[in-house]
Chains A and B, each alone.
Chain A
């Protein structure tokens, strides 16, 4: 039941964000988190290179009209990759629309992942294959789904943790409140991973909350909060690993706030110059998460320039493959719109599908339309 014995101070985050590797790539001593091993650090770097190239490619595809829309997470690679690599195969990921990099990092096929953003009606991938829920558009609603999946796992005796991604804006939604509360009361193994990127579309954090930090919100629910440097992949990875282990060991939920920045506008349809200065963006570009881990690895002799060049060539090849595959259009069958609304098609849907088919057949036979 509810661990009322937990003292508030045990639940509070640190005042400064937990950092393992500083902006210059130097290891931070006594950081309060365990530095990931060499292999884990190299994997983080590698996946971040691939993720960034994927993200810039997706943004480019919107300009070519190949994607209807793409909410970029450039600048947030440490959070997107760090959180996902910290999960075990049996764990669940609940991403938002901005977390396409995370879904790809989890192993889903990039072309499938982009189905919805290409303008298709479904999420593309099989959620059960990767244990990744469909990317969620309504804010914060997926926090509750994560709590439900985690609680069910606990009831069934499964060793699985659910990590839900959300942004700073979503922490204002009622569902975030309900989810933290339900997770705490049930001691469900959930990691609430909040990427605070400074803006909810155009609204800055100062208009979103008066809390000392978003991680501080945990204490009111009895959920431990951790504040981490969201541009430090090592710190994100270590924090999420700790939260996953805690959940798996019966320690219940954890709330992690990762401080980061959205380099691109909200989506390609947004104009960020209307609400923030370029100087602010430049400041965050100087704190680039990928450059940081790379400097660290090179300084430690774990990585060299030829290895980086090889990795970037690999990323380039993946981007080229994505371009090529996505340039072949989707074969849309309008009849599919009626096929999965219910387990078994209702008479109304059967009739409506026939009506649309007849309309399309008539249009195909009409010389005016055909021409």
Chain B
């Protein structure tokens, strides 16, 4: 076994517990403090502090020219952010919920993603679009979409999603410093998750923005998760351990670009892989992961790459969402279907 990763919280005894929402708030505050070109704006992000309170207190602290409420129009928010970035500022804008970002889709895909290319690199657009996404919080319709595949499919965008408070802080700081536009997807159901960690990104490698991380080392199967499903994947790994199966859990963090190095190293070692996400299966992000693994790890694979994903249905209402979301049992069932009987001992020993 190689490449044992930094496991998630390895807290020093003195580190305080913070939630993901607090970590994001701190990241915004620190970016606003360190870089006077950073602006935070969107709907209800001012005095209210955002519907999830991620921008709590920022308007009071930094003033309403740097942290402000806009008229209610998502296309307007992203379109004006593009203009502000053209004129030397670094806007960090909030879309209130995943499905409410769709009015901004044209601005994101036709302009934000493409202006650098259209101008041969002369116009850079360092814009961060924060989008609370995914379900698991009992939200009503249009409040629980997993929209990552739309953005990951668009050349010119980076798509990042943290799963822990520490990563939320570090990745948001790096996203704000990044010269490319970043779609920053915040898993709603992790907003209140806690971690004892020191929020600091000084000295971190900016490349972390491109890198996946092994959250739990294992030897039999690689579980590939991100955002809201990381917790479920880790729980499944704990349960599998009791049954004698060792599951490695990878947190992708960056959905675009994709960290082939970390993922393929793991899968070549374990020979089996499952992708876990909330989004619908058909043309979902897992399809890309499975395709890449079959292209790059074919001779190492002992079973097809499986997907544990949401159904191909509109996001269900609160009292039915538990049937839709990937669960520990569903992941363990998928583990059982990884053709254990068909593997010859010789191949396993050689793998």
A residues neighboring B (CB under 8 Å): 121-123, 126-128, 133-134, 138, 141, 143-153, 155-156, 162, 174-175, 177-179, 181-182, 185, 336, 339-343, 346-348
Contact = CB atoms under 8 A, between A and B. Distances in A.
B261 to A, nearest CB: 8
Contacts of A151: 80, 83-84
B155 A134 contact: no
Interface string B236-270: 00000000000000000000011010000000000
Contacts of A342: 116, 156, 158, 180
B80 A148 contact: yes
Contacts of B84: 148-149, 151-152
B83 A148 contact: yes
A4 to B, nearest CB: 15
6 contacts: A123-B119, A134-B118, A147-B76, A182-B73, A339-B120, A343-B121
B283 to A, nearest CB: 18
A122 B119 CA distance: 6
B120 A340 contact: yes
B156 A341 contact: yes
Q: Is the interface of A mostly helix, strand, loop or mixed?
A: helix
B26 interface: no
Name the residue in B39, B87, B123 with the highest tally of chain A Cβ atoms < 10 Å from its Cβ.
B87
A138 B106 contact: yes
B350 interface: no
B96 to A, nearest CB: 16
B116 A152 contact: no
A332 B76 CA distance: 36
B117 A122 contact: yes
Given A151-B80, A182-B71, A341-B155, A145 B86 contact: yes
B179 interface: yes
Contact of A126 (B82, B111, B116, B122): B122
Contacts of A155: 39, 65, 89
Contacts of A347: 257, 260
Interface in B136-176: 155-156, 158
Contacts of B71: 178, 181-182, 185
Contacts of A181: 71, 73, 76
Given A185-B71, A347-B257, A147 B119 contact: no
B116 A141 contact: no
A182 B107 CA distance: 15
B110 interface: yes
Contacts of A127: 86, 119, 122-123
Contact of B118 (A122, A143, A162): A122
Contacts of B78: 144
Interface residues of B, number: 44
A156 B65 CA distance: 10
Name the residue in B83, B124, B257 with the highest tally of chain A Cβ atoms < 10 Å from its Cβ.
B83
Contacts of A177: 73
A156 B85 CA distance: 12
B179 A343 contact: yes
A181 B83 CA distance: 15
Contacts of A150: 83
B86 to A, nearest CB: 5
A315 B287 CA distance: 58
Nearest to A182: B76
B33 interface: no
A209 B61 CA distance: 45
A150 B86 CA distance: 10
Contacts of B180: 342-343
B118 A182 contact: no
B288 to A, nearest CB: 11
CB-based closest 3 A-B pairs: A148-B83, A144-B79, A178-B76
Nearest to B91: A148
B81 interface: yes
B88 interface: yes
B219 interface: no
Contacts of A141: 79, 106-107, 110-111
A144 B257 contact: no
B48 interface: no
Nearest to A160: B87
A152 B156 CA distance: 23
A152 B110 contact: no
A150 B79 CA distance: 12
Nearest to B83: A148
B79 A179 contact: yes
Contacts of A336: 120
Given A148-B79, A149-B86, A339-B120, 14 more contacts: A122-B119, A144-B83, A144-B107, A145-B82, A148-B80, A149-B83, A152-B87, A162-B83, A175-B106, A178-B71, A179-B80, A182-B71, A341-B117, A347-B257
A58 B179 CA distance: 36
A144 B122 CA distance: 20
B115 interface: yes
Interface string B54-87: 0000000000010000110101101111111111
A47 to B, nearest CB: 25
A177 B78 CA distance: 14
